[in-house]
Structure 1
């Protein structure tokens, strides 16, 4: 390189370095970013042959400030004032004051006092996506080491405050005299006072000897060391147990275990509990989730419960288990095909120790299903295959469908033209038919016989077919006619035969093996129309019009008598020593039953009503009117069987509903009987009109009111189950605590609901009535206090129904809750205060309670 070119380069570099100092001396504010790149090379002239060390910054350092920039030539330091910013590679530093040493690439930053004397513009350092807030910082861009004072870093599970911090090149942080908390305030409400700690990014936080401090008051709660996860994904680790005492099962350590964050597709959670009086529980839960394909979970739990002292009258011991499986398939994964599962299987005694709420404990049944469904695009076919289960917890009876299969064909019109479809629909094209078929293999068995080898003989199975035929047309454009017919068939592989055993003087039932068909059919026709009536008022009136909509319908159906001997479906058998006989169906024990006895020629009728009113409204600026529903529905229905030997007219049913003032829902219904009552209270064949000149008598009536009110924006209380509530643990659930109070909704001032139900029944001479009032509500008495409550009163039994009260206090980073069931079988209470979120949620909590299980066993 020539001497002239070299001198030009040096002059340009000198000007770039000198420029900031000229701006600062002139008082000019630099508003746009300026890029500095300094490189001083060795002098290659003949006058100076000595070798000089190179000093260079490999990548540009970008700097900017709103106030001014000053450069010190002697110390090679650049000072930035007012919302300053320095950026180098993937690191960025923002502060009110920044000093950059261009020689050793060390930067210093701090805040500056504002007019009130408080530090403003404290340093904020960002490196590889992580953000750190602090008071001062020395950072070496070359070694990527930093020394920081009073830093606050946000980790995955909380916030870490530190007085003195050293940041290492691998982004790990060494801390002396720090605080670990989940409270986001600059001055946290609580924290672990940490003597020293190390933060390993995307791995863990390790802390040394620490003690708990609440509201700046040190508490005598010390831990020698601690590990906290610090990963954005799943991380394996210990599940901290809870501890306490139950009067029935003794002291316990519960729900402790280990969590395996295996990968992003599935995980595994192992938990266990142990009691001093001999009870124990163990569970395994795994969750799986393949995005855009499927998700679900398995849970298996084994319980050994011992209550009372061996040999005493209240001694109780049981071995129970539960199995739960849920599976959901993403609809987009396999269009037209779905696989779903909801399995809830348990022994009958397990619900007393595992179910989450009194409502679930009061439930006498449980059910499960695993189903596969397939539909064909542009085809009317649907296939479903499933396994089902139901159980009655009262008598411990289980029913299994192993399997169930159904195949359906949606309504098709076989004579519909596929070509030359222009013009009107021809009469024969309206004809349509559909098909449904079902196979069921059912087992009903007692819990004690589940693993009995004879259960194979207790299966019931069969196949059912149904083919409905339909046709529809309009007459005079007002009447809709719909003739129909239906054919049904059932296939069985065994029937029954009853016989009188004259020696034993008893009726016996034998099973007859062999294939047998049971079929029936019926015919019918129906017609319906819609009528409108309008009553208008003079202009200027508040009420503009009232409209009455009437929907009458009549249908006729005929069913033959399938007890006729020509069908062979019914037989007669002697039933006692006097020689009395009884007719029976050979299919009466079949899973789908059999055809009915007696023919039917019935005329059915119904009448629907709807009443609306059009009123003037200031809110409607377009028309000036709005519609109000006076009566959404009022309908009557009944039938008349021409072939019945007596009581040909059925009871007349009615039901209705409406909504008033957009807050009050009203529904009612009942039945009228047209028949008279004998002096002994029995219903006679005589019409009431012939006896008392009355058309009918009221036999049943029900009336329901539902009134909801709310303040501000109405967002009802979140009634998510307890497993979703961060302040509820499985321990309190299994111990029978009322931990299932719904979430407190701190965004709604209040909402309240009243429900009133009245029932009246008088089938004969005697009548019964019942009246029940239920209420529930959520009241936020302050922004931090909320009350949830539900209760009711039975006016007939004169007692208060299930009552539950919950009080919740939002303590910012803590939550305090109290729940109480004051009366009834599940009397209990629970008080808890715990950290709301983060890694310390399961460790920092206090609970006190009384279990309904203790009360049940007299403790």
Structure 2
């Protein structure tokens, strides 16, 4: 039954049930206002009018709608004399309290046990209300609604736990002011954990409720370390805009050490996104005046930027920067990411590319690169590298149709590469000495090529390449008899040299097939062989070589030493030795067709038995000795289709060694040995599998810009252990427990336990000079298992089979505590021995409520 009668037409009666609310009166306005809109109401069982009591009674699934206010409840009483509505639940046959009121206004919903609303003042009294604001669930014993934007509440608990009636923790306040979508302001507030009050309390509290990012202070954590007692990761978070933010935090230690960090993330949908961080630490070891006192400064800069492919199809800008002190990740006091200090190389690249839509097309790119060896401190940088190219031009191609023959397939191209290269050290980075030693140059190349068929089955290609190299610094050499040393004079100014070469190759593809009976599990085996023969000429450019005289102090003899003034320039010296060589190569692929296990499949299943097994060598016709190059062997053996390939490489040398283990111009078999000597070999494989491999779910590819290890310059996987964030919590690109429902059907796993394992194996053999030794032999592994929907354990380790010892090892444990998260990581041995314990609230607005303890690894701090 539904009615839209004005409330003024209802019978004015009074009911004794109003006594329930007599002690909680709502302030009436000075003048009794008339209801300005239609009141709609309905109920399932009955709507009863009482003329004497001036009331209307609505029972079972009752509803009252007035303007933007809606009340749903099991039992609603409308009192026209007071212009008020009363709503509460009803009891079912079992005595359970059901159909509790639901009060909705202005897009906000409150679910109390009972409610009283005045139409004139539009104020309400709500009992045992439950509402959700931002990440908070709020329950108040008594709530007084002043207007659409202000509520006053008494005896309130608010929590981020999903169950507000039985939360694992909550904040309790006797009185609060509640402004939806904005804030909660309270008086004395205490924190309860499992209904037990804790000593954590504040004389007043302020809790922001906005779903948007807001600026605010970050409370530091405290503890002690080698540098004394500390305050870490305290600072301020700036919500700059909807597109960018800034985190500014720092550390302070009682021995005077300090650190500063700036981190920013930015994004613009369909345009670009990225992140930037700068970290600086000033460290003091021991105390001033002590003999072991030392000090140092370390820093690190990271920047990742990616552009949406649709933002500008003809141009692209990207950046991946990781540079700073070579010993930053080894010495940093507040940095535990294993992917960093186990990596020996930092690299950076910032590039802009542009394609000009023309005929022929022109491509242009400008790049700055950086490569840094953290062990030696050596830095190689190009600032910048300019590259330009013109698309291939076919001058003799027909205007329509395909190109045929040797003439129509002739094509040429133009390429330009110009560089400004620096080679420096960590201590001289961006110092004047670095720029003084810059080496500049440009290289122009024009390749001319063609291809055609011979006898339908043989593919022939031929090419020649012309290069002109420009340099702006050359080096003259002379011999100083007095000092008995070579003197190198740097000649500044433009110089150039030109080179060219010629190459041709012919190849074909051969197929072999063996069919078996239809009843056989193997239907057929196919062998694909691709042999090729190539020939190349590289002339000697003696015109770019000079000589100087050198006199020996022992016997007084004078000799002429050849050198090129271009040695040490950007692109090095041109070739001095003439070569005319023939190259031979053959690649093989072996595949099988097997009967599919799926009985509904109509076609047999293809599997690879041997993947690209190749042999290659060359023979130098112009050499006076050792004309045959070692035979290179490469290939892969598929073990698990599309998952695991065992890759191998090796070199077979046909020449023998003399007594000084030097190669001689004599075949090894003629010297009493085997046909070939295995000089070096490598076998490796990487394999990852998980419980998802046995389900229908596919893993999504992870964007590298979001991978913390990758941005730090480490491995994208966790074979070296998982990273930790600034709070010491195990860094997860995704919450490992997200989406796990904790109902009665999913509290325990039956036989499906999520797990994943990653393996990496490598073995290197060296026998260049009869040493016949395995130079490296190791296996690394990492795995995680969810023992229950809320427990996850994992380990990353490895074993050096050559040195008979474990490599870097990390054990980790994670526990989902509903509203809390707990993690523990432990490095049990090595120089980086450490552990880290963290427990904290998941909700970002309460991330400062946490506890952590750690044992930091020993860090040797050098003098700067």
TM-score normalised by the chain length of structure 1: 0.87
Are the structure 2 counterparts of residues 270 and 776 from structure 1 closer, same or farther at C-alpha, using a change threshold of 3 Å? closer
Correspondent of 2:816 among 810, 820, 830: 810
Quick check: 206-215 or 659-668, which moved more?
Answer: 659-668
1:718-733 equivalences in 2 (<5 Å): 720-721=707-708
**Structure 1 stretches lacking a partner, 5+ long:** 1-29, 42-52, 725-729
- Which residue is equivalent to 1:500? 479
Superposition deviation, residue 111 in structure 1? 2.0
Superposition deviation, residue 530 in structure 1? 1.2
- Which residue is equivalent to 1:665? 645
Are the structure 2 counterparts of residues 784 and 423 from structure 1 closer, same or farther at C-alpha, using a change threshold of 3 Å? closer
- In 2, Cα distance between equivalents of 1:218 and 1:409: 74
For the 8 Å contact 2:321–2:348, the answer to whether it is kept is: yes
2:680 counterpart of 1:700: yes
- Which residue is equivalent to 2:366? 385
1:335-354 equivalences in 2 (<5 Å): 335-351=313-329, 352-353=331-332
> What do the CA deviations read for 1:161-187 (whole angstroms, capped 9, x no partner)?
211111221422212111121111131
Superposition deviation, residue 148 in structure 1? 0.9
> What do the CA deviations read for 1:617-665 (whole angstroms, capped 9, x no partner)?
2315132521221112211111111111111111111111132244543
For the 8 Å contact 1:506–1:576, the answer to whether it is kept is: no
- In 1, Cα distance between equivalents of 2:155 and 2:662: 89
2:439 counterpart of 1:439: no
- Which residue is equivalent to 2:297? 319
- In 1, Cα distance between equivalents of 2:596 and 2:429: 67
- Which residue is equivalent to 1:555? 534
Quick check: 215-224 or 338-347, which moved more?
Answer: 338-347
For the 8 Å contact 1:318–1:349, the answer to whether it is kept is: no
> What do the CA deviations read for 1:87-122 (whole angstroms, capped 9, x no partner)?
333232222223334565432222222343332222
- Which residue is equivalent to 2:519? 540
For the 8 Å contact 2:723–2:730, the answer to whether it is kept is: no
- Which residue is equivalent to 1:568? 544
- In 1, Cα distance between equivalents of 2:524 and 2:655: 40
Superposition deviation, residue 709 in structure 1? 4.1
Superposition deviation, residue 349 in structure 1? 4.1
- In 2, Cα distance between equivalents of 1:532 and 1:39: 95
- In 2, Cα distance between equivalents of 1:459 and 1:105: 87
Correspondent of 1:745 among 736, 746, 762: 736
Are the structure 2 counterparts of residues 697 and 389 from structure 1 closer, same or farther at C-alpha, using a change threshold of 3 Å? closer
- In 2, Cα distance between equivalents of 1:829 and 1:684: 56
- In 2, Cα distance between equivalents of 1:445 and 1:458: 8
- Which residue is equivalent to 1:17? none
For the 8 Å contact 2:397–2:403, the answer to whether it is kept is: no
- Which residue is equivalent to 1:413? 394
Superposition deviation, residue 407 in structure 1? 0.7
- Which residue is equivalent to 1:768? 773
- In 1, Cα distance between equivalents of 2:800 and 2:236: 48
For the 8 Å contact 1:664–1:706, the answer to whether it is kept is: yes
- In 2, Cα distance between equivalents of 1:127 and 1:365: 59
Correspondent of 1:72 among 40, 50, 53: 50
**Greater relative contact order (Cα 8 A, min sep 6): structure 1 or 2?**
2
Superposition deviation, residue 720 in structure 1? 4.8
Are the structure 2 counterparts of residues 456 and 841 from structure 1 closer, same or farther at C-alpha, using a change threshold of 3 Å? closer
- Which residue is equivalent to 2:24? none
> What do the CA deviations read for 1:658-693 (whole angstroms, capped 9, x no partner)?
322445432212111111122332222111232237
> What do the CA deviations read for 1:263-317 (whole angstroms, capped 9, x no partner)?
3243333222211111112233344434433333443333221121223343221
Correspondent of 2:759 among 744, 754, 779: 754
Superposition deviation, residue 253 in structure 1? 1.4
- In 2, Cα distance between equivalents of 1:198 and 1:651: 83
Are the structure 2 counterparts of residues 854 and 320 from structure 1 closer, same or farther at C-alpha, using a change threshold of 3 Å? closer
**Structure 2 stretches lacking a partner, 5+ long:** 11-30, 713-721, 741-752
Q: How many pairs are equivalent?
A: 802
Correspondent of 2:853 among 848, 855, 858: 848
- Which residue is equivalent to 2:635? 656
For the 8 Å contact 2:761–2:778, the answer to whether it is kept is: yes
Quick check: 461-470 or 133-142, which moved more?
Answer: 133-142
- In 2, Cα distance between equivalents of 1:240 and 1:55: 51
Are the structure 2 counterparts of residues 854 and 36 from structure 1 closer, same or farther at C-alpha, using a change threshold of 3 Å? farther
- Which residue is equivalent to 2:348? 368
- In 2, Cα distance between equivalents of 1:461 and 1:854: 40
For the 8 Å contact 2:593–2:604, the answer to whether it is kept is: yes
Are the structure 2 counterparts of residues 162 and 554 from structure 1 closer, same or farther at C-alpha, using a change threshold of 3 Å? same
SS in 2 for 1:58: coil
Quick check: 134-143 or 67-76, which moved more?
Answer: 67-76
- Which residue is equivalent to 2:61? 83
Are the structure 2 counterparts of residues 145 and 731 from structure 1 closer, same or farther at C-alpha, using a change threshold of 3 Å? farther
2:503 counterpart of 1:524: yes
Superposition deviation, residue 610 in structure 1? 1.0
- In 1, Cα distance between equivalents of 2:601 and 2:699: 32
2:597 counterpart of 1:618: yes
For the 8 Å contact 2:152–2:178, the answer to whether it is kept is: yes
Are the structure 2 counterparts of residues 125 and 410 from structure 1 closer, same or farther at C-alpha, using a change threshold of 3 Å? farther
> What do the CA deviations read for 1:367-388 (whole angstroms, capped 9, x no partner)?
2232221112355211111333
Are the structure 2 counterparts of residues 194 and 342 from structure 1 closer, same or farther at C-alpha, using a change threshold of 3 Å? same
- Which residue is equivalent to 2:144? 166
Give the 4+ runs in structure 1 shifted more than 6 A.
Answer: 714-719, 741-744, 854-857
- In 2, Cα distance between equivalents of 1:75 and 1:253: 68
For the 8 Å contact 1:255–1:731, the answer to whether it is kept is: no
Are the structure 2 counterparts of residues 347 and 627 from structure 1 closer, same or farther at C-alpha, using a change threshold of 3 Å? closer
1:583-602 equivalences in 2 (<5 Å): 583-602=562-581
> What do the CA deviations read for 1:400-432 (whole angstroms, capped 9, x no partner)?
3222211122323233333xx257746532111
Higher gyration radius (CA): 1
For the 8 Å contact 2:64–2:72, the answer to whether it is kept is: yes
1:123-142 equivalences in 2 (<5 Å): 123-142=101-120
Superposition deviation, residue 828 in structure 1? 0.4
- In 1, Cα distance between equivalents of 2:825 and 2:273: 34
> What do the CA deviations read for 1:768-803 (whole angstroms, capped 9, x no partner)?
114212221111112221111111111110111111
For the 8 Å contact 1:571–1:586, the answer to whether it is kept is: no
- In 1, Cα distance between equivalents of 2:48 and 2:855: 71
Are the structure 2 counterparts of residues 443 and 543 from structure 1 closer, same or farther at C-alpha, using a change threshold of 3 Å? closer
SS in 2 for 1:428: helix
- Which residue is equivalent to 2:448? 469
- In 2, Cα distance between equivalents of 1:538 and 1:323: 65
> What do the CA deviations read for 1:349-373 (whole angstroms, capped 9, x no partner)?
4332154422301323322232221
- Which residue is equivalent to 1:396? 377
